[in-house]
Amino acid sequence: MARITPEVSAQILALSATMSNRQIETYLSNQGIKVSNVSIGKIINEHRKERSAQTKETINEHIKQTVTTDLDILQNTRDKLHNWFNDDNLRISERLMVFDRLNKVIDTRLKYSGADDTSKDDDFSKMTDEELQAILDE
């Protein structure tokens, strides 16, 4: 088998959207191009790895530009939920829904800050429910 040219690689990648590796092998063979389905798989996987790395880099750059705004929004949401939770006019069912949503926002903040690492004890881990409730009621 001959060395795979950039043109053949491009053709393989174009065909990979609608054909299996074996179908591509047969198609190319009918055009007089001998390439094994294993080589076809390697070309496709290498291309996917390259695209994956490029995509990750693009996403990371976008996140770097927007993370401060996202954190501000998350903090603002947490503050509003906390205020609603403390509203004495809410029924218990409404307070529980707000509390649930507040927990999700807090969990999100902890998850992405790395502070939810369970291998470390936090200040709250040894507190009773009553002590935790007293903090929430402040």
Structure token pair of residue 111 = 């998850």
- The domain total for the chain is 1
Residue 99 lies in a domain: yes
Write the pLDDT tens digit of every residue in 64-78: 888 888 888 888 988
Residues 137, 121, 130, CA angle at the centre, nearest 5°? 25
Higher pLDDT, 79 or 133: 79
Residue 25 lies in a domain: yes
Predicted TM-score (pTM) of this structure: 0.43
Residue pair 21/40 in contact by the 8 Å Cβ criterion? yes
Please report which confidence band the pLDDT of residue 27 belongs to, taking 50, 70 and 90 as the band edges: very high
Residue 125 lies in a domain: yes
Residue 1 lies in a domain: no
pLDDT at 14 over 60: yes
Please report which confidence band the pLDDT of residue 120 belongs to, taking 50, 70 and 90 as the band edges: low
Check residue 121 and give its pLDDT.
60
Check residue 128 and give its pLDDT.
82
Q: Which residue range forms the structural domain that includes residue 44?
A: 6-137
Residue 61 lies in a domain: yes
Check residue 18 and give its pLDDT.
93
